[in-house]
Structure formats: C-alpha cells, structure tokens
Structure 1
C-alpha cells in the first residue's frame, strides 16, 4: 500500500475525533509517522500508547480504539502527506502552511526509536517519563512543544487524581502516631485558661488522609458537659475524625488551644512503673504543679539558709507563687490523686495486688484498660474514646457506663454497644456520606428519629421533584408562545431559585451468611470432669468441668476477665489438652475459631482480602473469593485493598469470610462483635440464628448475647457451670458491681 492510496493520519483523526485539540492532533500524527512498525505490532499496542492521552481529553474509548486500528497501516510512513505538493491538512480546516511558518516535509522512510519502549510507560500511574522520540535521526515536527508540555502536565494531573480516587469507606490509617506530649508552656497556658468556655465549634472543615476524603464541609459542635456518641458504618472514618481532633489537625482547632484533650485508641507501652504510678503520672498538669512546688520550696530553703538567689526574688514573692501553685493543685484535686487512681483501676477490674504490678507484665487487653484509666484520671476538657468496651467484661462495662454518666466535661465516644450508648450518650453524631448529623438523645432515640428524618427528607425530595417537573413542563410548552412567554420566564426564575435538595441515602445493609454444615449424629462435643492448670504450681483455671454441646447449641460463656473463658474455648478446640478428664470430639466435627485478636489470623496485612483467601483456600477463581467476601460486606474495591488499610470492622469481616469457607459444624467465637458497627452486629446475629450448626461465644455485649444465645455458662472461681436463669440480664443482675 502506498501513502497516496490511503487516507492521511490527519484526515483519520479529523473524521474520528473532530473535536480534538490541534496540539494533540499533531502529537498523534507525529507519533504515527515517526514510529517503527516493530514498535506497534498491532492496534492494541498503539492504543496502549495513545489511549491514555486521548481518553484523558474525554475522547470516547471506542472511537479511540477504532482510530488506532485505522492508523496502524500508516505507522512508519510519511502519513501526514498525500503527495509532495500537498499541504498537511488539519481537522479544523487549516493547512500546514497556515498553521505554521510553512509546510515542512517529513523524512521519507521509517524512523527507528530506541527508547519508544520506555516511553510507552509514561502514562502508567506513578511513572514519570518524557515523551521524546529518540532514534537514529531527529525528524522535523509540527508539534508545538509548549502546548504538548501543557497537555502532558494536564494528563499527569488527571491520572494522579484518578489513581487517588478510592471509595470513602476505606480507612487507611493502620498504625496511628501517638499524641505529642505537651510542653511546659502549653501546660501553663491550659492551667491559666481554666474556667473559660470550653465549648468547641468547628465549621466547614474537611478531613482526609492520603487523598481519601472522610468529611467535606462538615460542621461539629461539642458543648461542654454533654456526652456524644459517634456512630457510622465500618470504614467511614470515625477513628480518623477522633485522631484529627486530638492532634488538632483541623485548622479551626487553633481557636481552642486552651481545651485539654485526652484520647484513648491504642494500648499502653508497658514499662517498669506500676499500674498505680502509671495512672498518676498521666496527669501532666499535676506533675507540672508538683515540679513547680518543689522548685519554689528549694528556692525558699536557699533563701532561708542565707544563700544568694540568682533571680533576686524575695521570700514574699516566692510565698505568693507557692500560694498560687497550691491553689491550682487544690483546683484539680491533686491531694486525692492516689485514691482516685486506685478507685478507677478497681472499677476496671484491677485488684489491689494487680495495681502494684509493673505495666509491662500485663497483656494487651489489660494494657488497654490502663490506658483508659489514665485518660479517666486526667479528666481532660474533651475526652475521646474509641471502642472503650472492647476489652472489658460485663461488670467493667457497667462500671464504666455509670462512671461516664457523671463525667464533668465533654465526651466523644465511638462505640458499637447500643446499651452502653443508651446509658452514656446525651447526643448521637451520625457520620455518613462525608457529613455529620447530630441527634438529641441516646442511641434508641437516634434510631427512631433517623428513620423518620430519612422518610421526611424523601418526601421533601419527591415533592420538590414533582414541582420541578410541573414547572419545566409549563416552560417547555409555552416558552416560545408570545402570549405565555412572560409566564414561562417567571417559571424559569422560580426553577433557578429552588434549593438543591440532596437525594436521601439509606445506609448500605451488610449481610452475613454461613453455609449449612455436614450433618453428624450426636454426641458432637463433650467435656467430662476436665481440670486444667497452666503449670504444676499454678491454681487450676477449670476444675471438674462437664458440658455437652450439640449442633443446636447457642451458648454464651460469661465471667470476669481472667476467669478462664478463653481457656475453655481452647480446650474445646484442642489447642490445649486437659490435665485431668477427657474432651470428646466427633471425628467429622469441624471447628471455626474467631479470636478477639483477629488481626493475628490475618498474618500478612500487605495482602488484599482476595489474596488472603486465595492463599489460605487455593484452587478457586478470584470471582469466587470476591463473591465470598461480598457475603460479609467486603465488596467492590475494598476486596482489592491491602488489609492494612482496612478498619477493624472490615478486618473482622474478612476473618468471618475465611471461617465460612471452612464449612464448620461449630462456630467458636471470642468477642465476635468487637469492632463491628451496629448494623453489622445485627447482621451477624441474624446469620448465627440462621446457621444450622452450633455456636459457642464469649462476649460482653449483652444485647448481642440476648439475640443469639439460649444457654449461659458461667466461668468463675475455677468452675464452669450452666446458669439457671433464662437471660443475660438476669445473670448481670446477680453480679456485684464495682463502686
């Protein structure tokens, strides 16, 4: 085929993409003319090179594909010339002579480009490249380099924006940095500001992380002494919002430097301090005042001994300073610090002996309790708590709820525990769709009000849309009628002034589903006179325990922390062997075990949920893994994100999806509702009720237990017995609550 027998590249571009910018037309034409046939063996290779540029300019991908197929025969030829005398014709009708200083002839024959392979990657995300055709010859070109550079920069920005566009449901902070310690100057400023208005009002602020938008033009008012519950689906960014407030990353927080903030989100790093010392040291204001008192007393002693003071201060001025310090210590009740710290630790389950143990000797769950005790002891103006009930037993949850009901300052707490929020919250903040909605009252009131508010918003939206259709129909009919033109214009003005209402959105319902197990005949699982201790010199955790489990069992194991509930689960599953007695398991019985430390089961958090399932359950297509994850609310792009970027609730769902693939006959769950949002907890309860196998769980969530379980086993004082009552509320009523 000769060049003269074929349409030119410029003509093809003009016919297929008539609205394309002139600079890009020249770029496409130059690419086709200068390339070697080996560089683009087929149309798809040419499309891979040109496609990102053209699609970024809003060209139809199908049209681009068609154009590349038409241009392929012209690769390596002087495709911009019909013959030696004709000008280069641009799609807008300008000739090459009028578009530049004069028509320039391209070199005959192909131009070999040694670096073209590298340049083809220039449109891949995150890759920087220069679009320069290097080869044996430099060929004259009509491309305006400034325009081309501008087009490439625009393309790069669009590609970066596209790669950063991820669903808002992703929570991308995995290991948050701890709060920065306050300087003495900051402490002094906060102490000096005591008594000021501690209300916080944040208006029109955005919160994002790593390019992901959490909130847009949001408003938040935290009135001093009110207690706010922050709720929303898993991954919406509740913890991210708390971190933004505590780290004062929101610009408007600069106005509230006098407000002290306490934030509990991660466990304490253990050291050689005792629990009691660690809690008391947490009050940086008290520690500062104690240092001031010691310094002033030392100066007064030097003055009394006749030693010269460098500052030249008199005894009277030192006495005045000391009086001010002592008054501030009285204001913060510094003298009762040890008694208050011991009371808080006792309420959270620490015995007097445990309070004298070193913090490094405790497990992660108990370190979380120490961190919570430190925050409660410091009594900040604004206390931020992220799922505080996750590591507490039922008595400690009740104690914490009672304690927070008397909280003297502002509280903002994230929790999935409805009963806890009902007892504590005076207001509920609902985070969804990049905004915050505030509801007066506790969680139960929020549920009722939210449903009514959504229905009302839908009615208003439907009414306005009907009104808009009515006005638009009048305008369309009479707009060009001389007699009705004035009325039509009036209707148009009314349409323009109508407020834009957002389409009411419902929360996405998350579903859980467990497959039916294999039918096996009883006995299924039994413990007969089982005794277990962790060492020959250790007291027995369980002594002479006898229980029977069926496929119809729905059992809740309850008891104080440290009583041996998790040990019982490990004995049932065979992770531990009894010292005495016997555990019988049916030969075809399959267990699926959910640990409260479920992150340990995920192992490599750099894997995506799909990769995690493929690694542990090989032999299936990715579509099957994604379908399985979808049964537990991990859908869309979330299944393709690294698990390190998922929220705690999303990680829990991944673990549940892997448990379901095991097709268990018996589900053994240790605190399964931890980290799940309130809708997911309901969905999990419904799935467990539909499950045709047995369920044994340890949980502190009374409502969740009441929804699922019909038996209660009490583990305490080395015994495991069945509770005689009918409900978890009856059991909770029998417990002695800490003061």
Structure 2
C-alpha cells in the first residue's frame, strides 16, 4: 500500500492529504477484489482526474499501474482478463448432422450432458456474492477515515481580489474574512449566506443552541474547507494526544518545530566537529544556529512549557511521565497545553473547560486574557464567556451575528435589540392597518381617489418587517417525589483507599436530606466521583459507616452517560428498552419534559448533538422516578440556555441533589452547601463558592511565584 501511495504522490504532487487518505483507503479495502483496470478507474479515476489536468487516457494508464502494484501476479487490462486457447477450434466439427426430428436450434452446438448444466442454487449463490462485492466496492468509495466529510459540506464565495493575492502569494493580511458561505450537515442546512470576520488579536466566543452547527463550523475552518489565507496557521484542539513513550513536557516542546530542528542540527554539527571534521562551513552554520536559538529564546521554552502544564494541573512528577500513562482526559489537557505553547495565528477551542477542574479553568481564563493572536472558542461556561472573549458571535437561524463585548454585554444588547425590533414591527403593523382602513373606506369615493392611490403606493413601498423570532425557551422538569422522614443519608467516619499507600480520603462526616442542594468541588483526581459512588453504594467504604433511608432511590447521571447511550436507535426506542411495558405517549411525554419532542424524538441517537443526547440521558434517568439525584458533570454537553433550565429544574425539584460540577454559574444558582474534596479529606466550607474561589486564587498566586 505504501508503494501505491508513493506512486500517487509522484503523479499528483499537489494532492490534498485528506484526499490522499481517501484514495488509499479505497485501494486498500478493495485491493484483492479488482478484476481489471476498469474497476480501478471506476473506484478512484474520477477523483484523480478532478485534481489534475491529465487526460482520461493518462488516468487510465495510472490506474493500470496501480492494479499491477496491488496485484503483481495478475495480468490487468481495460478489456478484462485475457484467456489463451491451447488448441485450434474447428466450427464444422461442432455441427453434428441434423435429422428431421432434431431441434434446429442445436445446429451450432453440441448436445451437452445433463451433469454439465448450471446448478440453479449455485448460480443464485454466485449472483448474491457478486452483488455483495459490488456493494462493498460502492461503499468503499466513501472516505471512512474522515467522518466529518461524509456528512458535512461547505461552499463559499471568494472575491477575485483575494484569489489573485493568494495566487501571487502576496496576501499577508492577518485578519480572516469568510464571506457568503453555506454549511450543510447531510440534508440539513446549518448556515446559509453567512459571513464570518475574525480580526487579528481579538478573542471571539461562539454561542448558540445545541445542534445548530458550532462544532461543525470549527471543523470546516480547521480542515480549510472554508478557505482562509494559506499563510495563516490554524490549530484546532479536538483530538487527544496519542499516548507513547514521549515525556509530557517534551510532547509540548515538540510543538515548536523550528526550535526542535535547530537543536537537532546543533547536535549533529557538534558531533561531526568532535569526531574530527575540519569543514569550515560547519563552524559558521553552528554560529548561525546559536544566534537563531538565542533570537527565539529557546532556553526559556522548557520553563514556559512547564508553566502551562502546571496551570492545567500537571504536577512536576506528571510532567516527566510518558504520555501513554495518562487517561483520555489528561491527554486532552496535554493537547490544550501544546496549542497554548505553539501560539498559532488562529486558535480554535471547542468546550475547553469540559476537561478542566475549577482551578485549571480560573488559570486558563487568566492566561487567555493575554492571548496574542486570534482566538475562536465555543463554550457553554457563562463565567468563562464573561471573562475571556472581546466579542461574541451568535449563531442562530442559519446566520452569525457579531456583538462587541463579553457574554453579559451581548445578552443585554441582544435583548434590547429584539425589543426595539418588536416595537418597530408592531408600530408598522398599526400604521399598515390604519392606512388599509382608510383605503377600504374610501376605495370607491371619486373625490378621494387620488388619496387612496397615494396610500396604496405608500403601502407598497413600505419595507416588510418581520416579527422577532423568539428562540423556544428550554424547560426541564424533574419528577415530583414523595417526602421521606429524616435521616435520609449519613456518612460517619468514612474512609476509602484503592491501595493502602494511596488513601483517597478518611474521616468523612457528612449528611444530606431531600432539601439538600450539595455541590462537590475539588481538583481532578481528588476523589469526587469516588465519593459519589460510595454515597450511592456502588463502592463500599474501607472504613466507617454509610447509612441511607430504605425508601431512598437514586438517579445517577455520570460523566459518561452520553457516550454510553445506544446510538443506532431513536429516543423513544431507547426508553422502551430501558423501561418496557409503557405506552408510546408516556415515553414521548417523558422525553418532551426534557425538550426532546416532535421529530427529534424519532431521530437516531447518533444524529443528535451532544446537548440533545444529554437531555435524552436525563429523560431516561428520571423515568424511574428517583427521589435523590446524583449528577456528575451534567453540563459538559449543554448549551447556556439548557444549563439555565437545569438550574431552575434543580431548584424546583422536591427531592435531594448532590452535584459535581465546574460550571460556576450553575453552582451559584443551586448550591446551598459546598463540599470540597482534596488533601485526603472531604469538608464542608462556610461562605460557599465565593470563599472557595478565593482559596483557589491564593493557591494560583503561590504557584505562579
């Protein structure tokens, strides 16, 4: 396969990497099944022809060479496999004398033995096998390696001026302007005739309801399906770092390719000089390398990388560990650290706070406020959006509106703008109605004919204003529960460890009631999820006593609930499988109470956005009528409006709630009691979240000194 890839690159040096991967995937998946050159041409010929000016004959010749590489022992040609006869054929001898009783149709064929007739069953099997093979070849033409390209497409209009500058290589603008572009996801249009302008050095927060295309837009920019100036470097933090033997700190340093090359070359030249080389040019080159290293402050790079890793929660010991020893969440932090260290011209972040604890979020907020290039971030964290962005981009109704200021300013401006639009619309409607009344009253009055005509013309010239399209308010409703007499839940002298040299916490004394609104905070790895599992009885404490009311029924929403949903069924079918025996109306009513209604409830789970999947997970959790909710990072996939709705739903809920979250706004909305996990203990602190934030900020100040 590598041989084919090298050959294709030699023939098409400008081929795009994703397209190259696509062609290689097709050839690899059907390598042993191509019958002839024609089949290879059908599979990849049109794609190759579309990226070059080669003639069809040239492309067919290339396909024939590819066939020989894939199947070296097979004679391939465009006319199919050749067969050589091993003896001459005499047609006369094949025609037996015909008698009057013989069927005239047999004049040119010998009578065949019945044993040689085609077996109908075998023929049927052969045809089925052929159809299966053809279907497989057809399916292989879809690029499986890049799932985004299967479903999302983009188109845009580019100005002739920009195209000319790009062609000449003289475009040096740092601003990014993507005008009049469309994005579709399958048959669904996400953006139509939209404009996106990113001024260099500004920080943009991209907001909008779940499922409208925010993540898809970022992917389109990152993959350059939406064209931007080629000299602008882009980094999209989406995939976690691949785990290998590279040390975490070195993994970050490797992002600076210039520094890495200079250090490697310095080492090579030093080795050559030390082994006796007398080439004078080596000394000159070494001096030049030292100057460049000094110019880019290469000696300060390890310290800068270490500061970033430390801010994101990596201890000095963790920074020296191989990347393969970290979990997926920590590898995502590592990917974020690499992005912050490399400082691309355009940094794209999609929900960066999802993987971080409150301490790391506060550090990241402070770090990004001094970000030197352009930043475009999708986030649901209201406090993050109030702190980091200089501008807010609002994605709605297939377009993007830009507002100056942070999220709070955006919300005020948008609300006032909508009020003004609605007032203007209502005033125009009244004016239209009043004018129409005059026209109707005097339409047939000859004395008023000129006035009527004047009013009709005036109505025709009035711009047609439309009423403000209000976004449907998100409402979440948790089930009503019966009261329970206390005590409900109690932990007495509880301790837990996975191994005696790694104690998670000890001497925990805490309690909860059906009125409890408890929020648990702490660094990642401090034991928050472990504490939740002990509370629910999933884990048993290694010391102490857990006491619960016999009527207590937990509803558990874990960080991984969304990922664990069955993807190939719709929401109604999912509830049917989890809670069989109820009517379709009951399932739909349950889903509707979490905003999954209409056609949305009949879409496959896989086609839903992250936030919509979360709502389905909530609906399934509450179908069992729990009277105590345990929520572990429930906001990770929710948009701002749904987080607000979740806060209101928790406040109205008549059962108890224990919540692990890093979303500051949600904690402030619902928290009545704050538990802090850390340093081998769990403690309830007075002063709530304000006091905890002060503690964290003091720790960061000490860390940065």
Q: So what's the TM-score if we normalise by structure 2?
A: 0.71
Q: Which residue is equivalent to 1:521? A: 485
Q: How does 1:541-690 map to 2 (within 5 A)?
A: 541-602=504-565, 604-690=566-652
Q: 1:242 aligns with which of 179, 196, 218?
A: 218
- CA deviation after TM superposition for structure 1 residue 342, in Å: 0.9
1:352 aligns with 2:316: yes
Q: Which residue is equivalent to 2:22? A: none
Q: Which residue is equivalent to 2:693? A: 732
Shift in CA distance, 381/289, structure 1 to aligned 2, threshold 3 Å:
farther
| 2: CA distance, partners of 1:494 / 1:274 | 74
| 2: CA distance, partners of 1:176 / 1:303 | 60
Shift in CA distance, 330/630, structure 1 to aligned 2, threshold 3 Å:
farther
Shift in CA distance, 302/543, structure 1 to aligned 2, threshold 3 Å:
closer
1:213 aligns with 2:189: yes
- Assess if the C-alpha contact under 8 Å between 2:151 and 2:186 holds in 1: no
Q: How does 1:348-497 map to 2 (within 5 A)?
A: 348-470=312-434, 472=436, 491=455, 493-497=457-461
- CA deviation after TM superposition for structure 1 residue 376, in Å: 0.7
| 1: CA distance, partners of 2:359 / 2:510 | 25
Shift in CA distance, 566/289, structure 1 to aligned 2, threshold 3 Å:
same
- CA deviation after TM superposition for structure 1 residue 471, in Å: 5.1
- CA deviation after TM superposition for structure 1 residue 287, in Å: 4.1
- Assess if the C-alpha contact under 8 Å between 1:557 and 1:712 holds in 2: yes
| 2: CA distance, partners of 1:461 / 1:283 | 55
Q: Over residues 267-302 of structure 1, what are the superposed CA-to-partner deviations in whole Å (9 max), with x where a residue is unaligned?
A: 333222121122122334544565677789899999
| 2: CA distance, partners of 1:305 / 1:176 | 60
| 2: CA distance, partners of 1:608 / 1:698 | 29
- CA deviation after TM superposition for structure 1 residue 468, in Å: 4.0
- Assess if the C-alpha contact under 8 Å between 2:151 and 2:185 holds in 1: no
- CA deviation after TM superposition for structure 1 residue 714, in Å: 1.4
Bigger shift: residues 288-297 or 261-270: 288-297
Shift in CA distance, 708/174, structure 1 to aligned 2, threshold 3 Å:
farther
1:508 aligns with 2:472: yes
Task: Tell me the secondary structure at the aligned position of residue 677 of structure 2.
Answer: strand
Shift in CA distance, 331/456, structure 1 to aligned 2, threshold 3 Å:
farther
- CA deviation after TM superposition for structure 1 residue 497, in Å: 4.1
| 1: CA distance, partners of 2:426 / 2:311 | 52
Shift in CA distance, 287/481, structure 1 to aligned 2, threshold 3 Å:
farther
Q: Which residue is equivalent to 1:261? A: 234
Task: Tell me the secondary structure at the aligned position of residue 354 of structure 2.
Answer: coil
- CA deviation after TM superposition for structure 1 residue 667, in Å: 0.5
Shift in CA distance, 510/173, structure 1 to aligned 2, threshold 3 Å:
farther
| 1: CA distance, partners of 2:149 / 2:581 | 30
| 2: CA distance, partners of 1:347 / 1:202 | 34
Task: Tell me the secondary structure at the aligned position of residue 373 of structure 1.
Answer: helix
Shift in CA distance, 284/193, structure 1 to aligned 2, threshold 3 Å:
farther
| 1: CA distance, partners of 2:297 / 2:613 | 43
Q: Give unpaired runs (5+ residues) of structure 1.
A: 1-171, 178-188, 307-313
Q: Over residues 1-51 of structure 1, what are the superposed CA-to-partner deviations in whole Å (9 max), with x where a residue is unaligned?
A: xxxxxxxxxxxxxxxxxxxxxxxxxxxxxxxxxxxxxxxxxxxxxxxxxxx
| 1: CA distance, partners of 2:538 / 2:296 | 50
| 2: CA distance, partners of 1:242 / 1:556 | 33
Task: Tell me the secondary structure at the aligned position of residue 557 of structure 1.
Answer: strand
- CA deviation after TM superposition for structure 1 residue 675, in Å: 1.7
Q: Give unpaired runs (5+ residues) of structure 2.
A: 1-146, 153-164
Shift in CA distance, 534/683, structure 1 to aligned 2, threshold 3 Å:
same
| 1: CA distance, partners of 2:405 / 2:334 | 30
- CA deviation after TM superposition for structure 1 residue 676, in Å: 1.1
Task: Tell me the secondary structure at the aligned position of residue 533 of structure 1.
Answer: strand
- Assess if the C-alpha contact under 8 Å between 1:174 and 1:645 holds in 2: no
Task: Tell me the secondary structure at the aligned position of residue 534 of structure 1.
Answer: strand
| 2: CA distance, partners of 1:492 / 1:319 | 86
- Assess if the C-alpha contact under 8 Å between 2:203 and 2:389 holds in 1: yes
- CA deviation after TM superposition for structure 1 residue 635, in Å: 1.6
- Assess if the C-alpha contact under 8 Å between 1:227 and 1:411 holds in 2: yes
Bigger shift: residues 283-292 or 368-377: 283-292
Q: So what's the TM-score if we normalise by structure 1?
A: 0.68
- Assess if the C-alpha contact under 8 Å between 1:300 and 1:315 holds in 2: no
| 2: CA distance, partners of 1:446 / 1:676 | 19
| 2: CA distance, partners of 1:420 / 1:407 | 14
| 1: CA distance, partners of 2:179 / 2:576 | 46
| 1: CA distance, partners of 2:258 / 2:442 | 74
- Assess if the C-alpha contact under 8 Å between 1:528 and 1:544 holds in 2: yes
- CA deviation after TM superposition for structure 1 residue 461, in Å: 2.1
Shift in CA distance, 204/282, structure 1 to aligned 2, threshold 3 Å:
same
| 1: CA distance, partners of 2:186 / 2:416 | 36
Bigger shift: residues 500-509 or 547-556: 500-509
Q: Which residue is equivalent to 1:272? A: 245
RMSD: 3.2
Q: Which residue is equivalent to 2:209? A: 233
| 1: CA distance, partners of 2:322 / 2:170 | 34
- CA deviation after TM superposition for structure 1 residue 627, in Å: 1.4
- Assess if the C-alpha contact under 8 Å between 1:601 and 1:655 holds in 2: no
Task: Tell me the secondary structure at the aligned position of residue 350 of structure 1.
Answer: coil
Shift in CA distance, 210/493, structure 1 to aligned 2, threshold 3 Å:
same
Task: Tell me the secondary structure at the aligned position of residue 230 of structure 1.
Answer: strand
| 1: CA distance, partners of 2:276 / 2:434 | 90
